[in-house]
């Protein structure tokens, strides 16, 4: 297998004039990208950064994020993509947790880093953009740097990247991914997608600081010699327009993105006929939404399942083959799935338990956190915290997050099941089901809904719809209507909804 810098060198040699990234209508060829990574490598090397050093990429989803990631591969440094939405408290935790040697920022993120810069005086800081301080101005340094560099030799066991969790349940954890993890995952995804080398056109509207955006989309595009149409932020109309403009063949997005696309799709204005494959993951996918998208567009959505701890799409519906609605599909490549009960014992087919993922995709563990690594990683693989089951054909079904299960009067209620029923109603554009404390039941399910365009749906109609399609104990005890969902990286922030419900503060999500 190739390690990452070898993949880039191969494309620069074989596809020098092919556009790798198209951003704001401007193409960047593989040959030009290769030279840009060399310039950045030489800048970093001149500032004392070398093999094994961690480099923070505190940037929006722009070409510099990609250049930074791949420059680190050539140098043998370890890129740490950081959310451009991090502010000083979150940033401080990750800089410390990763023990960064350098950080790259731009005009959008530098103001936030500058608030804590005095705490990290030994950190090499490079700032892109016209407003950069003279001594840290990355653009000028790269212009002056050589566009030639001899890549540092690596092995498949070397750490290739370090992604940090959001830290919503405590201190953020860094997930160390090896060169071998990347190589095997990219190989398996290309085969499962039936991708064609040097022919695919990808569109990425998922933030590049996420594993979904960077590994599963950007790096997969490079591995297959494709072209990536890169969007810095979600804009439904622009996504629909660019699919036609660039004849996009692959689109991967979260369920929320597909909801937006379904709501705004207009057959008279939007041509999605170039799409060969659409994938979705990040959370369980309501089947009614899948059916609506496919009926409207003729493009097929394939469910995938994976995590940052396991690199990418470790489970996937077959592109050609038996499709089972509601299933995440079959393990790809070397991936394997084991379902365990609460005592850690494997359970039979059809029995719900915790999903454990094994195979070449499983990362090295949590950076400098042996306790957390020992708790989540074992000889079987990585314990996902997801509840699911495998049927007799080996297809995986995700029931819900272990921590998201609502226990009402002794009954287990899985929010995704209730959400799937809600999405069947044409009056619902977007929804989330969460649990709230209840004196008699312990918890009760609560639905928060964004109405469809006509805006006439009532709580009574929602209740009647749910009672016709769900057991009584699963029916939401409260229904709340809002105008905008709290969204981060195209996912609904349920924790924000729970906080607003408990504080009586849902009005901030109403017009």
| pLDDT single digits (tens) 115-125 | 999 999 999 99
Round the average pLDDT of the chain to a whole number and report it.
92
Angle, nearest 10°, between helix axes 255-264 and 236-245? Answer: 80
For residue 293, tell me if it sits in a domain: yes
DSSP 183: H
Q: How many structural domains does the chain have?
A: 3
pLDDT above 70 (res 284): no
For residue 501, tell me if it sits in a domain: yes
* Same domain (yes/no): 125, 241: no
* Same domain (yes/no): 110, 224: no
Q: Where does the pLDDT of residue 169 fall: very low under 50, low under 70, confident under 90, or very high at 90 and above?
A: very low
pLDDT, average across residues 33-48: 98
Q: Where does the pLDDT of residue 171 fall: very low under 50, low under 70, confident under 90, or very high at 90 and above?
A: low
pLDDT at 196: 94
pLDDT above 70 (res 285): no
CB-count exposure of residue 268 (10 Å: 0-12, 13-18, 19+): exposed
For residue 22, tell me if it sits in a domain: no
Q: Where are the beta strands (DSSP E) in 191-244?
A: 201-204, 227-230
Write the pLDDT tens digit of every residue in 74-91: 999 999 999 898 888 889
> What does pTM read for this prediction?
0.85
Cα angle, residue 163 at apex, residues 335 and 45 outer, rounded to 5° = 120
Rounded CA separation 378/262 (Å) = 41
pLDDT, average across residues 120-148: 93
* Same domain (yes/no): 94, 118: yes
Write the pLDDT tens digit of every residue in 478-510: 999 999 999 876 678 898 999 999 999 999 999
pLDDT at 168: 40
Q: What domain range is 351 assigned to?
A: 184-402
Residue 78, token pair as written in the block: 């370890």
Write the pLDDT tens digit of every residue in 303-354: 899 989 999 899 999 988 888 888 899 999 999 999 999 899 999 999 999 9
Q: Where does the pLDDT of residue 282 fall: very low under 50, low under 70, confident under 90, or very high at 90 and above?
A: low
pLDDT at 473: 85
Residue 336, token pair as written in the block: 């394997």
Residue with tokens 């209620």: 413
* Same domain (yes/no): 137, 218: no
Q: Which of 129-133, 340-344, 347-351, 462-466 has the lowest mean pLDDT?
A: 129-133
Percent of the chain whose predicted confidence (pLDDT) is above 70: 97
Q: Return the top range by mean pLDDT from 241-255, 289-303, 390-404.
A: 241-255
* Same domain (yes/no): 197, 306: yes
For residue 42, tell me if it sits in a domain: yes
Whether the CB-CB separation of 139 and 131 falls below 8 Å is answered with no
pLDDT, average across residues 175-202: 96
Question: Domain boundary residue among 402, 434, 457?
Answer: 402
Task: Work out the number of other CB atoms within 10 angstroms of the CB of residue 134.
Answer: 6
For residue 14, tell me if it sits in a domain: no
* Same domain (yes/no): 313, 273: yes
Domain at 464, CATH number: 3.30.300.30
pLDDT at 422: 93
Pairing of β 301-306 and β 313-316: antiparallel
Report the b/e string of 141-155 with b at 16+ CB within 10 A: bbeebeeebebbebe
Whether the CB-CB separation of 261 and 303 falls below 8 Å is answered with no
Contacts of 173 (CB under 8 A, 6+ apart): 97, 164, 165, 167, 366, 367, 369, 372
Rounded CA separation 269/434 (Å) = 37
Question: Domain boundary residue among 177, 198, 230?
Answer: 177
Terminal Cα-to-Cα distance of the chain (whole angstroms): 53
For residue 493, tell me if it sits in a domain: yes
Paired residues of 433 in beta bridges: 447
pLDDT at 167: 44
pLDDT above 80 (res 34): yes
Rounded CA separation 272/278 (Å) = 11
Q: Which of 163, 166, 181, 136 is nearest to 3 (CA)?
A: 181
Rounded CA separation 347/97 (Å) = 37
pLDDT, average across residues 173-193: 96
* Same domain (yes/no): 161, 290: no
Greater confidence (459 vs 291) lies with: 459
Greater confidence (130 vs 70) lies with: 70
pLDDT at 325: 82
Q: Which of 52-66, 140-154, 215-229, 428-442 has the lowest mean pLDDT?
A: 428-442
Write the pLDDT tens digit of every residue in 200-209: 999 999 999 9
Residue 35, token pair as written in the block: 């030279």
Rounded CA separation 182/188 (Å) = 10
Residue 498, token pair as written in the block: 């729970």
Angle, nearest 10°, between helix axes 63-75 and 30-46? Answer: 60
Whether the CB-CB separation of 292 and 319 falls below 8 Å is answered with no
Q: Which of 98, 108, 267, 230 is nearest to 171 (CA)?
A: 98
* Same domain (yes/no): 255, 156: no
CB-count exposure of residue 439 (10 Å: 0-12, 13-18, 19+): exposed
Q: Which of 150-154, 228-232, 293-297, 428-432 has the lowest mean pLDDT?
A: 293-297
Rounded CA separation 186/165 (Å) = 21
Q: How many residues does the chain have?
A: 511
Question: Domain boundary residue among 377, 402, 427?
Answer: 402
* Same domain (yes/no): 494, 357: no
pLDDT above 70 (res 253): yes
* Same domain (yes/no): 51, 135: yes
* Same domain (yes/no): 188, 200: yes
Domain at 127, CATH number: 3.40.50.980
For residue 15, tell me if it sits in a domain: no
Rounded to 5, what percent of the chain is helix, strand, coil?
A: 35, 25, 40
Rounded CA separation 380/203 (Å) = 35
Report phi then psi at 273, rounded to 5. Answer: -70, -20
Whether the CB-CB separation of 189 and 312 falls below 8 Å is answered with yes
pLDDT above 90 (res 20): yes
For residue 461, tell me if it sits in a domain: yes
* Same domain (yes/no): 317, 337: yes
pLDDT, average across residues 373-377: 95
Domain at 189, CATH number: 3.40.50.12780
Residue 461, token pair as written in the block: 């109609």
Residue with tokens 């193409």: 27
């Amino acid at each position: 297998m190739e390690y990452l810098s070898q993949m880039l060198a191969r494309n620069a040699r074989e596809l020098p004039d092919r556009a790798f990234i198209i951003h704001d209508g401007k193409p960047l060829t593989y040959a030009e990208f290769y030279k840009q990574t060399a310039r950045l490598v030489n800048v970093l090397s001149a500032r004392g950064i070398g093999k094994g050093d961690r480099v923070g990429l505190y940037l929006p989803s722009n070409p510099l994020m990609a250049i930074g990631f791949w420059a680190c591969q050539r140098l043998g440094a370890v890129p740490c993509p950081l959310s451009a939405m991090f502010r000083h408290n979150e940033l401080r935790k990750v800089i410390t947790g990763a023990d960064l040697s350098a950080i790259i920022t731009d005009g959008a993120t530098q103001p936030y880093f500058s608030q804590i810069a005095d705490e990290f005086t030994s950190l090499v800081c490079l700032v892109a953009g016209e407003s950069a301080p003279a001594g840290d101005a990355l653009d000028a340094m790269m212009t002056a740097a050589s566009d030639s560099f001899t890549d540092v030799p690596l092995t498949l066991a070397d750490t290739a990247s370090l992604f940090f969790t959001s830290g919503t349940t405590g201190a953020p954890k860094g997930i160390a991914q090896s060169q071998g993890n990347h190589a095997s995952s990219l190989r398996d995804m290309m085969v499962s997608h039936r991708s064609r080398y040097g022919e695919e056109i990808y569109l990425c509207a998922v933030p590049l600081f996420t594993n979904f955006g960077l590994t599963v989309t950007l790096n997969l595009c490079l591995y297959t010699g494709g072209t990536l149409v890169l969007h810095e932020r979600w804009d439904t109309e622009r996504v629909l327009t660019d699919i036609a403009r660039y004849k996009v063949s692959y689109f991967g997005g979260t369920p929320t993105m597909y909801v937006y696309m379904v709501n705004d799709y207009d057959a008279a204005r939007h041509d999605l006929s170039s799409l060969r494959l659409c994938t979705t993951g990040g959370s369980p996918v309501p089947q009614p939404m899948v059916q609506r998208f496919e009926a409207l567009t003729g493009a097929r959505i394939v469910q995938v399942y994976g995590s940052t701890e396991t690199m990418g799409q470790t489970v996937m519906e077959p592109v050609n083959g038996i499709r089972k609605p509601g299933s995440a599909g079959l393990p790809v490549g070397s991936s394997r799935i084991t379902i365990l009960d609460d005592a850690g014992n494997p359970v039979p087919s059809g029995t719900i338990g915790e999903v454990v993922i094994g195979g070449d995709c499983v990362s090295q563990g949590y950076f400098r956190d042996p306790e957390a690594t020992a708790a989540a990683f074992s000889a079987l693989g990585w314990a996902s915290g997801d509840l699911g089951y495998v049927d007799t054909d080996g297809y995986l079904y995700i029931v819900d997050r272990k921590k998201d299960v609502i226990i009402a009067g002794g009954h287990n209620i899985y929010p995704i099941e209730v959400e799937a029923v809600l999405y069947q109603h044409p009056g619902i554009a977007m929804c989330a089901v969460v649990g709230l404390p209840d004196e008699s039941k312990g918890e009760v399910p609560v639905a928060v809904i964004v109405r469809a365009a006509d805006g006439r749906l009532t709580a009574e109609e929602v209740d009647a719809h749910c009672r016709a399609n769900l057991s009584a104990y699963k029916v939401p005890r409260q229904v709340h209507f809002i105008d905008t969902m709290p969204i981060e990286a195209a996912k609904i922030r349920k924790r924000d909804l729970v906080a607003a419900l408990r504080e009586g503060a849902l009005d901030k999500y109403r017009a």
